[in-house]
Structures are given as C-alpha cells and as structure tokens.
Structure 1
Amino acid sequence: MDRKLAAIMSADVVGYSRLTALDEEGTIRALDRSRERIDRLVAQYAGRIFGLAGDGIMAEFSSAVQAVRCAIQIQREFSADEGDGDSSLKLRIGINLGDVIIAGDDLLGDGVNVAARLQSIAGSSAICISGPVRDQLGAKAEFRVRNMGKRVLKNIPTAIPVFQVDWSAGPGVSRVTGSPSTAPSGDSSGPPVIAILPFANLAGDEFWERLAVGLAADIIADLARYPNLAVISRQTMMAYKGCENDVVSIGRQLKADYVLEGNLQASGDQVRISVQLTDASNGASLWTARYHETVDNLFELQDAVTASVVNALGNCSGKLLKFRRDVLRRQKPASLQAYDCYLLGEEQLDLFTRASIAESIRFLSRAVQLDPKLARAWTGLGCAYSAGVCNGFSEDPASAVRLFEDCVEKALELDPQDLTARLGAAGFRALRGDLEGALDDHEMVLTSAPHDADTIAMLAGNMALVAGEPKHGCELARRAIRLNPSIPWYYGMLGRCCFVAGLYKECIAALNKAPPQSPATLLFTAMAAAMLNREGDAARFVARLDEPFPGFSAEAFIRGYPVTNPVALAAIRNGAERLRSRAAGES
C-alpha cells in the first residue's frame, strides 16, 4: 500500500441533526452554500477535499501551516454569518499531521482518524490540532495556540497532546499560551473558582460508575451553596470525565483557581474514596485525604469531603476567611437505592424528550417513595412535571402543574435552602397575585448563589416570565452562558427572555442552540420570525410544531410555566396573534 505524510482537516456542522429537525430545507440550502465556500478556501490554501459524508468534510494539505490558515479563514467567514437566518452554520474543525494510506482518491489510516476525533471534541466554532501540527507551526503561524493537555480520543490507543487555535486573535507572534481569557482567575476582587472533576470509578460496575459521578455532582451542589465561592457547573465538568489532562491545564481551560479530583473503589460492603485538592496555578497539592467506610456510611463520606474542602480553601485563601461555615447542609439520602433512582431520574431529565421526561418522573417518584425525606428528589420530580407541561409532553397539564407545586412545597419543607425549589415556589406566589413576594424570592436566590450557572439560568426565565424586568432576565441568561456555554437549555431561557424583551433576532440566534425537540423552542422561534415579518420561516416552524404537538399553543405554555409577568403575557399573546393573523392572511 502506498503511504504519504499529510495534514488532514476534518470539519462538520455543529448540531446538524438538530438544525435539520427545525428546518430541513433551510439547513440543506445553507449546507450547500457552505460547501461551495469551503471548496473555494481549501483550493485557495492548496488543499484537496477527498471526503464528503453527510455534513462532514475531509481535506488534505501538503502543509500543516496551510491547513491551519485555511481552517482559521473558514471560521472567520462563517462567524460573519451569525444570526443571518438559515445562512448561519457553525463548524468544528480538527487537524492532524500523520501518515496516511492512499486508496485511489481516498485517504485512510490513523492520520485521518485522529483528525476526525479531534473534530469531535472541538467546541462550536473551534479548531483543535494535534501535537505534530503544533510543532510544524513554530514561529510561522500568526495566531495563538492554547494547550489543552493530553486527551484520550475514541478508538485511539494512546492519549495525544491537543491544542486549540485562537482564530479570533490578530496577527502576531505564535506561542502556546494561557491567555488572559483562559488563565486561572487570579482576580482577588472576585470569588475563588473551583472545578470538581467527575470521580473516577475503580470498581468497573455501572452502578458504582453512576455513584462516583453522582457524588462529585453532589459536592458541586453542596459547594455552590457558599456565596463566596464560584463552582464550575456539573454539565461542564462532565466533559472532563476520563480526561487525562493535568490539573494545571484543566484549571487554565476553565479559569479555575482550584481543582478537586478523586476516585471511588467499592468491594463488597466497603467503599474507599481518595480525593486531592490542587492549586491550579502551579499544580501544588493543598490537601489530600483517603476515606474507608462501609457502604451505609457513603453519604457521611461525601459530607466529610465537602467540609474538608471548605476548610482547606478557608485556610489557603484569604478571600475565603469569611466563608460561612453555618450553611445548612442538605439532608443525606437514607437509602442507596433511592439515591440511585434519583441519579437515574436526573440523567433522564437532562435529555428533554417526551420519553425521557416520563422516565424521569418514574425514577424520581420511586426515589421519594423509597426516601420521602430526600429533598433533592422532590425538587427533581417537580422539575420533571414542569418540563412535561412546558414542552407539551403532559397528558394532563392541570394535574401536572398541581403536582409540580406539591413537589416544590415538600422540597422546601425539607430543605429551605433549595434554590431550584424556591424559584418554583416564586412562580406559584406570582400566580396567586403576590408579584412582590416573587421578586423577594428572586432577590434571595441571586444573593445566595450569584455564581451558580444553573440557578442563574433558571432565575433568568423567572425574571422575564414570572416577575421582574425582562432585560434583566436577558443579562442573567447571558451570564449563565458565559459561565457554562455548552448547555442547550440555557439558550432556551435566553431565547424566551429575548422574545419578551423584543430582541427577536437575538431570540432566534439563541433558540438555534436550544433543545430542538422542545415545542417551546419551535413556538418562540415561530413567533420571533413573525415579529420580524419572516413569513416563510414562521410558517415552517408552525408546521414543525403542529405535526408532533397538535395541542400545544401559546396559552398552553402560559398555563404550564406558569407565566405571570404582565409584560411577558402581553408579548407572548401578541406574538401568537401575529402568527394567527399571518396564517389567516395566507389562507
């Protein structure tokens, strides 16, 4: 077989399946135009396209430098389209330099496979390159490169060094950098930032895998209760599950001051947990501990780890000397089986589909049946009922809303500091006419968790739809996205806030990244398009909504949320009326 050394560029469209589900014809037109542009740029930089599959493109270059320059120009041109209707697509790109097998016009082998895997881990509008490509750039390239550490790629036997190209930077000296935007915060005026990596499971069992990840997530939730500490959210940290990066690289990527890592090993009825807290600026170990207990005492171990982290941070960081040690601890689960049902329910809730919401309700109902005092399970169950109603999945919306209220009341009875339940209760206060009381709840939530992205995103929706200033809701949603840019439902909240605030173009841009299967996404996108006089776009989204969700409407969303803010009620009903009038005009 003939072989050669080549720089391989792999590119695909971010969220292509979601985009086609929302607007198949528009997305295909945009893809066709995008391929024409990529063809032109690849040829301009002396490359050749050798593979097309679905929304993906494979190209080869004789020069790694030219491959990177081509990728940068592609991202710059595509970024200029952002928000421009169906022309706006985002790409993720991976580039590798390696030995490839020549098979006619095609290229095969690990050199190609690594490029494809690099593309798969690149974020939206990002360019990831391998170590050999970075070596070739030397002083020739004009753009900054950020070290992402070693990453384990699917079906690649060894971890490889990965770098990300900062294509937004202007010409200058190329160097590996932890630029100001990616370095640990080092800002003494702000709160210290801690990242908790998913705990490694050394037991090899799926049950203990859930438990290991769940314990780390619970420590995140416990630490998020301290207002003088910023904690990187669970969804962001899940991307680092199994990552072999050193903690300094992880801290730089997440702008974290501290990183907590650990592992769990179970044998019979014995559990061992090892944890280490590290200074992300220099890799120095600040505190390590090993715990050995029976399975029955697993949650006492979790509390001990949380308390030790708080104490260690308080001792090593002057900005935490006033850390509140009297924060109310959450009730420990009384049953390991109930906790496992809770974790399974939360996993299903994150998927936001009709089937997953039903499964979430089933698991979480079982959790509270097994452990009626597990407040977080009551909160999750309430959220599942709410998600079912707001997304048109519930067969009996009125009963689901009542169950949602019962769940948040029970959660708050068990845990008055449960901020998610507090936001749900604020909605019901507003529904009974107590808008001032709802605003007081909002203020309490923001004061209690000013740096928790999940809480801020939920609060944003409440500000716009329940009680408050819609533009403040937009600001909060944007803040949540800055803290954690990879969570689709944050963009759904931003889209709703922007619609109520009259920011229709930004509404559509945000909803393009929201859960595509949500009828609320389709409804608000259609209404925003109608407000912008984009009749064709509005009609397409209404058709997408009517087919799987024939009973879903603006009024159904208002009842299910429930929407009580007078400004939001007027905006949503005006948008729905605009849709109806345009549909009547066409008929």
Structure 2
Amino acid sequence: MERRLTAILISDIVGYTKLMEEDTEGTVAAWSDARDNVVEPQIESASGRLVKFMGDGFLAEFGTVQTALECAIAIQNGVESNSLNFRMAVHMGDIIDDGKDIYGEGINIASRLEGIAEPGGICISGDVYNQVRNRITAEYEDIGPQEVKNVAEPVQAYSVRFENLKKEQGAPAELKKKEKPSIAVLPFNNMSADPEQEYFSDGITEDIITALSHLRWLNVIARNSSFSYKGQSPDIRKVSEELNCRYVLEGSIQKAGARVRINAQLLEGESGNHIWAEKYDRNLEDIFELQDEITLSVLGAIEPSLRSAEIERSKRKPPDSLDAYDLCLRAISSMYSFNPSDNSKALDLFHKAIELEPDYAEALAYASWGYEQRFNRGWDQYSDDDIGSGADLALRAIRTGSEDPIVLVLSGFVLIMSSADVQLGLLTAKRALKINPNIGFVYTIGGTCLLYSGDDNIEAIKNLELSLSISPRDPTAFALYANLGLAYLENGDPIKAEEYCNKSIELYPSWDTGLQGIITVLVTNRKLEEAKLFLQRLVSVDKSFSIKRFEESTRIGNQSLKSKMVDALRQVGAPET
C-alpha cells in the first residue's frame, strides 16, 4: 500500500435514480456516450488516472490540481449538449492506494464537496483554490467553510464559474480586480536529537499558519499542502510553483537541555531571495506559552516585511497591468512621506483602485486616512470638502462589513480626527484592537486613537508600547515614538516623553507632527532655546504654518494635550496667523 498526496476529481450524475426510473435506456445511452466520448478521453489526455466508475459517476486522480480542474472544466464543456447534468469536485488530499482503489480523508472531503456543487458545476476546496486562482481563468465564488463527517475542521469551499470562459477570453480586457498574495509555511525542521520534539516543531508551524490566516489581505496555503514537504529540503522556487504561492516561510527548531533555539526565515518564492530572518533563543519552561510567544513574535515581525515586499513588487509591475490591489499598494508607499504632493498621488491611486472595486475596504480605509493627513495639517484641499470626503470613505469602509483590523482602525481614526462621529470611531478602533492578531500598525493607530480622543491614556501607552515591542521596524515607527512621547507627557512623565519624541525626530527629522511634539515636550522640560531650534525647522518645512491654522486643523478631542501644544508653540514664538 502507498500513502501519498494527490489531486482528486470526483463526479456523479444529478438525479440519476429518478432518470433511470423514467427512461432507463435513454439514461444509460446518454451516460455511455458521455463516458466513452468525453470522460475517458479527457482524463487520458490530461495524463490522469481513471481509478473507477461508480455506476453514475467516476473517481480520478491527477499529478497537479491545475490539471485536475482543467480536466473537470473540459469534461463539463464536453457534456454540455448531453441530456445529463454532472456535479464535480476537485480536492487535494492524503489518500491510501492499494493498487486497485484509493481511500482516505481526501476522498471523503472531495465527495462532500461534490455533493454541494451545482448541477453542471464544479466545487473546489480552499487548498485547490490557493493553487489555481492565478493559473486558471475562471470566476471563483467563496461559498464558505463546509462541515465534513469525521473531519475535525470545516473545509473551505469555492464554486467555479467557467461557463463563459471562452467568451471572456475573446472579449476586451475588463478592469482588473485585486489579487491577494499568498504564503506557505513549511514544517519547521526538528534539529534536535530527541525525536519527541517533533510535536513541538509541528505545533509551532500549525500555530503560525493559524495566526497568519487572520491577516485578511493574505491567502495562507492550508496545512495539508504545506506538510506534504515534511522531512524534505525542497527548492523554495519549486515549492512556490507547486503551491502557487508568492512567499514561503521556513524554519528550524533545536533543543539543548532547557534551552531552545528557533530560526525562521521568509523568502520570495519566485527568486528564493531572503526577505526577513530572525533567531529566537528561549528557556523551555512552559512549552505552550513558548509556542504562543514565538507565534506572536513571528507574526508581528513578518507582517510589515510582507507588506514592504508587496509594495516593492507592485513598483516593478508595468502600469497597464496593475489591479486594484497593486494600485492600493503603490498608494500606501506614498502615504508615509507625509507631504502634500505624495499624498495627492496616493489619493489618485486609491480612487483608481476604488473605481475598479467600489467595496474594496482596504482602499476605502487608506484613502480616508489620506484625506485625514490633509485636513489635519491644513493642506490645500484635494476635494471640495476633505473632512467630509475622509469621513465618508471611513464610513463606507466600515459598511463593507470588513473584519480586517487595519481597515477598522484606520476608519475609526479618521472618524475621531474629523470629529464626524467620535463615538463610532472609538468603538471601531477598540474593535480593531480586540481582534488584532498582532499587527504593530494596528496597535500604533489604535493607541493614537485612545490618546487623541482623550479616552484612555493608560491604554494608549499600553498599545503603543506593545507595537514597539513586536514591530520596531514598522514604517510608521516615527509616528509611534512621537505619539508615545505625547502619551507619556499626558501621563505626567515629561522625561520619558522627551526620550521618545527625540527618537521620532531621529527617524524622520522633518515630520511636522514629530516637530510639534518635540517642541511641546522641550517647553514642558524648560528647554526653550532648544525648542526654538525645532520651530525654525518646522516653519522651514511648512512655510505657511501658524498657530491659527494648527488650532483649526487639529480636531482632536483631547483638549488637555491640544492646549499644551498650542501653549508651547506660543512660548517659542510661532506665528499666530
């Protein structure tokens, strides 16, 4: 007997029993015609193995899921004129082959999926979808997780719409929709002499897969597919091609006495180039606590690295091949400069992405933040009403029903900073913090919401420090340090406030909000002459800066903090108008 991973195609005829009762000879003739002239030739042409016919259906296996789905589509197209309707399903799973038949959980799952396929349709599992979505041109409808008897976890399912494939291929190109990136987490290698540590290596891998699956903008290759490489040292480029994933995370675990060393590295699939790597040395006391700690650390570290890699990838693509996702990525890269020109370019791109996909929650939320950057700094209007435009986009993002914490926290932030709906903004930001899987950016913006609204300064510090601990390389670290400094100032610790505000200036010497923050803290610490030097830099960066414009554009609810900043600006001689 042989145990292996294979691509399974299973099919049966809709209403076969009733058809046989009504017209036995006609049904048999139609089935024989489909079997002899379509099913067998197509499976043979695709180099598949026809395992068996099952009265009113068949079971076949293939070397790849792409071949299996292409064969299923070819068969459905081939029987279009037949009087019978077929349901089909494709799944990749573990099977046991005794030489005559195949058995196992993979067959059970495929059979369950086939049962929910529409007449004349095809249903595929999430594992299959992740590997074919960019390779086979079709419409894929998410029909949610499906319970399968004797299988512990529900199986994600998709319906494949292929009826108009030929027409679509011959038609002019339509507007491109977003294409999410994907990652495979390979089983971490157990480098210890103790084989009993294998469960710990597998546990770390499974926890990371689960944690990454909470990143709504990322597709994660399912465990069964990733674990098919267990015990191997595969070429990352081959893994990327076989699993159709853009990134691969791999690692190793080595135990020595009461200590454990965990190495992890993130690689680009197509080139095999390193994107990120980290080593963790820990005491092996509570093994489950350690698993949780490492999982959160890895997630917090690689999330911004993946974002940066995706932004760089989008910059390399020709302009005419950009989809909504790429447009959004390019726009995000222009957001962090915090200057009016780059901000306008970002908003142009965000609006193009929204034109392609009106309910693209991430584009809506980031675009709302783009408007916030403008109205909170008193820049020239991008629209007729930047405050209203920002608030409207934030509300649209919320109304999509997205549970992406980045979407929620940005939308909440804009509603707070625009004063459009502070209560809803706070509730939305707190929801983002509650469901945040461990994204530093969410902790940063969420903590800032708590600070600027005046809601809870202690919780603001807690979340900002949490962001600092898990994601020190986040591209918004300069904002994190500045806001953490102001939070400590509000908390009565101006010494620590100065320390953090100085770090913000080191990272971004010309950021207006950072300069306003360091001026406020230095005046509080009676360092007036030093604060005046930073005022000179502020007015050279923003030549139209004035206290009046600052008061009008800074719409924060934390009046204690705002009054400290206005008073400090007056003490160093900032222009009133």
Q: Which has the higher contact order (CA 8 A, sep 6+)?
A: 1
TM-score by length of 2: 0.43
TM-score by length of 1: 0.43
Q: Return the index of the structure with the highest Cα Rg.
A: 2
